[in-house]
Chains A and B, each alone.
Chain A
Amino acid sequence: MTIWQTIILAAIAVFALKLAGYLVPPALVEKPTPARIANLLTVALLAALIVVQTVGGQQGLVLDARVPALIVAAGLLAIRAPFIVVVAAAAVVAALIRLWT
């Protein structure tokens, strides 16, 4: 699959899900279980993406400058720093560690 095919199909899927909420009668889906699963899906996927992005490598797990960068990001989030500051700080920490090691 090419990058274009991937992003077009993914965009269609995401839009179809949004539109589905306007087409389906609310009583059918507004039960607690589907709502709970959808919320937890978001949590699970984001947590897995963090792991893949932090310790994923070409061959298995890799511990490198990304780990301290993520710890700094978590610390900044804990003191309620803005999103853009957190993202930029992580990039700078990782870049500096790679520069010095």
Chain B
Amino acid sequence: MSDAAVTERRAAIRASFAVGLAVAAYGVSFGALSVASGLDIWQTCFLSLIMFSGGSQFAVIGILATGGAAAGGAAIASGALLGTRNALYALRVAPFIGGPWPKKVLAAHWTIDETTAVSTAQKTLVGQRAGFWWTGAIIYIGWNLTTLIGALIGDLLGDVSQYGLDAAAAAAFLGLLWPRLRQLQPVVVAIGAAVVAAVLIPFVPAGIPVLAAAVVAVVVGLTNWLGRRP
């Protein structure tokens, strides 16, 4: 490897650690909230190990928390809809993820907001690959360890912790939404979706207000209302 490539690789790995450690830390909040939502420790860890996509995981436990097992269908649909962006991330990173199929399957599993952000920010192929795999590994290990810790803490605290955990879940969603509100179009969609959900809450079963709000995104997305013209 040339000197320049070594430098690129080091820079990518540094970025991986910076992003990875920050993100892995909030697995604690997922673990604790998941247990408070009625899932057991195994189910909580299953989600972090197998689903491995923060937004979708929070959505699934959020809907199960309000609707219980009866809201299973809505929980699956919300988790899947929030996971659609991972398919687009995969399209962006696929060109520089080489190798045999088992490697691609692992890459698919690790294709999330952070691995895409770090890898696509690198300029060279060496940096992009290093950024993707290092960020993926750090977050996968960190997210699962902290999920387990959070689940154990939540289990230990039991009912006492529930006094504020519902508010913590709302704050977690707000924290995931915040960085996406830099332009007018997403802000309008967020407000529209919030209104739709609030209006429907008294009239429909748990989980449905969230799915109905997705229609706002589809309508604005199709018409590109208030969006930048290509």
Interface magnitude class on chain A: 35 or more
Q: Does B213 contact A (CB under 8 A)?
A: yes
Please determine whether B164 and A41 come into contact, CB atoms closer than 8 angstroms. Answer: no
Complex Cα distance, B214 from A5, in Å, reads: 24
Scoring A24, A47, A69 by chain B CB atoms within 10 A of each residue's CB, the highest score goes to A47
Please determine whether A43 and B174 come into contact, CB atoms closer than 8 angstroms. Answer: no
Chain A residues with CB under 8 A of B165: 91
Interface magnitude class on chain B: 35 or more
Q: How far is the CB of A19 from chain B (nearest CB, A)?
A: 4
Cβ-closest chain B residue relative to A81: B175
Please determine whether A66 and B166 come into contact, CB atoms closer than 8 angstroms. Answer: yes
Decide: A52 near B201, CB < 8 A? Known: A13-B80, A14-B80, A22-B107: yes
Cβ-closest chain A residue relative to B203: A60
Majority secondary structure of chain A interface residues (helix, strand, loop or mixed): helix
Please determine whether A19 and B105 come into contact, CB atoms closer than 8 angstroms. Answer: yes
Scoring A18, A65, A73, A82 by chain B CB atoms within 10 A of each residue's CB, the highest score goes to A18
Please determine whether B90 and A61 come into contact, CB atoms closer than 8 angstroms. Answer: no
Chain A residues with CB under 8 A of B111: 18, 21
Q: How far is the CB of B122 from chain A (nearest CB, A)?
A: 19
Complex Cα distance, B135 from A75, in Å, reads: 29
A to B CB contacts below 8 Å, 29 in the list? A1-B70, A3-B43, A10-B79, A11-B46, A17-B84, A18-B53, A19-B90, A22-B94, A22-B107, A24-B87, A34-B88, A37-B218, A42-B55, A45-B82, A46-B55, A47-B177, A47-B189, A48-B194, A48-B209, A48-B213, A52-B201, A53-B66, A66-B170, A70-B167, A73-B174, A77-B178, A83-B26, A84-B29, A93-B164
Query: Measuring CB to CB, which residues of chain A are less than 8 angstroms from any residue of chain B?
Result: 1-11, 13-15, 17-22, 24, 26, 29-30, 32-56, 59-61, 65-66, 69-70, 73-74, 77, 82-84, 86-95, 98-99
